[in-house]
Amino acid sequence: PVTISVGGDVVQRLNVPVGKSIELLVTVGNPGANIVEIEVGPGPNELTLDNNRALFTINGVRDRLRVLLVTGEPHPGERTWRNLLKSDPSVDLIHFTILRPPEAQDFTPVNELSLIAFPIRELFEVKLHEFDLVIFDRYRRRDVLAQIYLDNIVRYVRSGGALMVATGPNIGTQNNLFNSPLGQILPGTPTGQTFEEGFRPKVTELGRRHPVTADLPNSGIGTADPSWGRWFRHVDIEPRRGHALMSGARDRPLLMLDRVGEGRVAQFMSDHIWLWARGYENGGPQAELLRRIAHWLMKEPELEENDLRATVRGDRIDIARRTLVPDGRDVEVTFPNGTRERVALTEGSDGRATGSLKVTDSGLYHVTDGERVAIAAVGALNPVEMADVRTTEEPLRVASAASGGQILWLVDGPPDIRRVRPNRDSGGKEPGGRGWIGLRANGDYVVAGIMQLPLLPGIALFAVGLLTLVLAWRREGR
């Protein structure tokens, strides 16, 4: 029996015959590094279970992001959306602006119009599930999209799609999207009131913990006001669910995010973000904010608001947990050998709690706080020395045969080491026998060079010799 896990979650169990290779299709759900663990059940009389598990990493990369942007009418803000999405080379953008609604009565023959017909059925029925994100920018119902297509969008979101609604003054009318099937999944209910006054968007207390709006440039520290430019239109809503990350005029919700089924929804209650792009009153971080919202909707792991991560840095594992509500629980780390240790995390002001643990053993470490699980691989994922722990002479057989050597087992007693003549192994016989190993005295050497140095200079050597003779003559004379 073999168990396959991806990111700590078991995805498949199957029986694999010994000695036979099989191919498996592993589905990667998240971009970034995904650790795949393959573990086989214990067999009889195994020496160790450390080599019953193999690990490898699959890097998940989004090939192309397909975004559908539908602008209900021309306005200054649509260029902001288009410039942002077109600046990313990994985004395939399909953008339609409704220039001539069906109720337009200008008596122009259809065959004389230079406009592209809106492919409603193809986009919202045939290929809707091919898009990673659908954006309605200042759109209002004008009999362009039938209710059946709006129902398709609701099912698309519940099954894992992403929807963003950036509204304008039209939401106060009966033709707004909330009075359609999309109202089932939008987190806020319009109150019918629109504030036409200057205000600076602010990050809420909850927004300072959410990765989409946390640490936005010039957002202010603590309760300080941001230094962004002002906006002048804010459509009021009453939150029903989800999270309000930014507030606008009179501290009413401006940006709301919510999860619906397997998908995600964002609701932006102003169409004046283009003022930041134009640099009005020093502008603001419109590109960074819209990028974060779009990537959160498309489930980018780095922007998850409730997440647990473990990162290996040298001989330590850094643990970081992000939550919207302070969580004082410790995390439990399971070592490769099965032992466990609890690690306390220090809560920060940005929704992150951090801690670290020093490690010495290589292998897979599991980190959990009871709800979330993170995995960190330390050292070599599959050590060569653990590939086959059986005591066998096979790894040395080739080298021994190439050098004319011999392999003996110490269990039979220590061998006798003897020096043998070079021709002792003539005829292809190994230089050794039962209980002894021969070391050939080949006499192979090479004289690389000769250097001669005198012990003393000639005159000094003559003086020493003469002095020795005088001393000897004098002693004999006595």
Question: Can you give the three-state secondary structure of 14-43, one letter per residue?
Answer: ECCCCCCCCCCCCCCCCCEEEEEEEEECCC
- Is the pLDDT at 243 greater than 50? The verdict is yes
Q: Compute the distance between CA of residue 210 and CA of residue 289 in angstroms, rounded to an integer.
A: 12
Between the two ends of the chain, the Cα-to-Cα distance in Å is 104
Indicate the helix (H) or strand (E) that contains 275. Answer: helix 274-277
Q: Give 379-410 pLDDT, tens digit per residue.
A: 766 777 777 788 888 888 888 888 777 888 88
65 or 333: which leads in pLDDT: 333
**Cα 139–85–131 angle (5° rounding)?**
70
pLDDT at 442 (0 to 100): 76
Q: Compute the distance between CA of residue 303 and CA of residue 296 in angstroms, rounded to an integer.
A: 6
pLDDT, average across residues 344-369: 86
Q: Compute the distance between CA of residue 4 and CA of residue 36 in angstroms, rounded to an integer.
A: 7
pLDDT at 114 (0 to 100): 61
112 or 374: which leads in pLDDT: 374
**Cβ neighbours, 10 Å, residue 473:** 9
Q: Which tokens hold the place of 97?
A: 């602006």
Contact present, 142 and 115 (Cβ < 8 Å): no
pLDDT, average across residues 309-329: 89
pLDDT, average across residues 283-297: 91
- Is the pLDDT at 155 greater than 90? The verdict is yes
**Cβ neighbours, 10 Å, residue 305:** 19
- Is the pLDDT at 62 greater than 80? The verdict is no
Q: How confident is the model at residue 426 (pLDDT cuts 50, 70, 90)?
A: very low
pLDDT at 258 (0 to 100): 95
Q: Compute the distance between CA of residue 86 and CA of residue 449 in angstroms, rounded to an integer.
A: 73
Coil, strand or helix at 277: helix
Which range of 20-34, 172-186, 363-377 scores highest in mean pLDDT? It is: 363-377
Q: How far is CA 380 from CA 26, 313, 366, in A?
A: 22, 14, 16
Of 139-143, 370-374, 444-448, the least confident: 139-143
Coil, strand or helix at 201: coil
pLDDT at 454 (0 to 100): 81
Query: pTM here?
Result: 0.72
Averaged pLDDT score across all residues of the chain: 84
Query: Angle, nearest 10°, between helix axes 286-297 and 78-86?
Result: 70
Strands 65-71 and 91-97: parallel
Q: Compute the distance between CA of residue 13 and CA of residue 37 in angstroms, rounded to an integer.
A: 12
pLDDT at 170 (0 to 100): 64
Amino acid identity, residue 162? A
Of 108-117, 153-162, 365-374, 397-406, the least confident: 108-117
Contacts 24+ apart (CB under 8 A), 99-106: 99/74, 101/142, 101/143, 101/144, 102/142, 102/143, 102/144, 103/142, 103/143
pLDDT, average across residues 347-365: 85
pLDDT at 112 (0 to 100): 67
Q: Which tokens hold the place of 363?
A: 């292998």
Q: Compute the distance between CA of residue 163 and CA of residue 297 in angstroms, rounded to an integer.
A: 7
Amino acid identity, residue 78? E
Percent of the chain with pLDDT over 90: 26
